[in-house]
Amino acid sequence: MQTKVIKSVSEKKRVILPRAVRRQQLILATMRCISRVGLSSVTMAQVTKDAGLSRGIANLHFERKENLLIETLRFVTDEYNRGQAEILDATTFSSAAEKLAALVQFQFSRSVTEATKMAVWFAFYGEATSRPTYQKICADSDARAARSVRALFTQLGAAQEVLVDVGAVTDGYIALIDGLWLNILLAPQKMTRAKAKRVARTFLEGVFPSIKV
């Protein structure tokens, strides 16, 4: 049989790779599986199969399924926070307004809003109420994100002639973004990335009239 020949050639070449690589492979596979079947019905069998690895490997590198899930959440939040910080901590922008434009661009970039990541975010949000660990990771990530946005908004507010309530505006902006992401996830054909950007810019131009985002 041809299949047999092919199989015997490609079959079972056991590869050994560093721990960090395996962990990432499994995390990425977990993300794909969550977006495909949902957090509540992901199985280790699916994840390891998707990663092209054997059944027992997850336990070797993560011990328990719960750890793999937690690391997956951390992976997504860290990646986002790093990306956002890269913009907001940068000193190369010529103005605060430009930095703000870059932020919006980033928040609705393909890499942030791609279906599999959005699905993972909200899957964990949905479980956060009942899982202290998820709750903490989400809350910490949100707090970090909010702090740096607030700093930027304070700067922008100072340049305004009209007094703005920076606290309320920051909370509002964060909420707006979360809500737009949710919309993109639930009805992607109704809420596109372009439309979402427009909505975010409308909000920002409303509160900071002097700038054009």
Residues 149/170/111/199 CA torsion (nearest 10 deg):
-140
Do 89 and 63 meet the contact criterion of CB atoms below 8 Å apart? no
Q: Does 54 bind DNA (CB under 7 A)?
A: yes
The interface region with its own copies, picked from 2-10, 50-58, 84-92, 133-141 by CB under 8 A, is 133-141
Nearest to 196 by CA among 213, 179, 211, 208: 179
**How far apart are the C-alpha atoms of 80 and 118, rounded to whole Å?**
11
Residues numbered 139-198 forming contacts with its own copies, rule: CB under 8 A? 139, 142-143, 165, 168-169, 171-172, 174-180, 182-183, 185-187, 191, 195, 198
Write down the least CB distance from residue 184 to its own copies, Å: 10
Long-range pairs, 180-185, Cβ under 8 A, ≥24? 180/108, 181/113, 181/118, 181/121, 181/122, 182/122, 184/113, 184/118, 185/115, 185/118, 185/119, 185/122
**How far apart are the C-alpha atoms of 32 and 208, rounded to whole Å?**
39
What number of other Cβ atoms are within 10 A of residue 47's Cβ?
27
Among 34, 42, 112, 149, binds DNA (CB under 7 A): 42
Among 119, 149, 156, 166, binds its own copies (CB under 8 A): 119
**How far apart are the C-alpha atoms of 73 and 77, rounded to whole Å?**
6
**How far apart are the C-alpha atoms of 4 and 11, rounded to whole Å?**
10
Write down the least CB distance from residue 54 to its own copies, Å: 25
User: Of 53 and 123, which CB lies nearer to its own copies in the complex structure?
Assistant: 123
Among 57, 199, 211, 213, binds its own copies (CB under 8 A): 199
Among 70, 125, 133, 155, binds its own copies (CB under 8 A): 125
Write down the least CB distance from residue 207 to its own copies, Å: 6
Burial of 41 (0-12, 13-18, 19+ CB in 10 A): exposed
Write down the least CB distance from residue 143 to its own copies, Å: 8
User: Of 54 and 109, which CB lies nearer to DNA in the complex structure?
Assistant: 54
Interacting residues with its own copies (CB under 8 A): 34-41, 115, 118-119, 122-131, 135, 138-139, 142-143, 165, 168-169, 171-172, 174-180, 182-183, 185-187, 191, 195, 198-199, 202-203, 206-207
Interacting residues with DNA (CB under 7 A): 12-17, 19, 22, 41-45, 53-61, 63-66
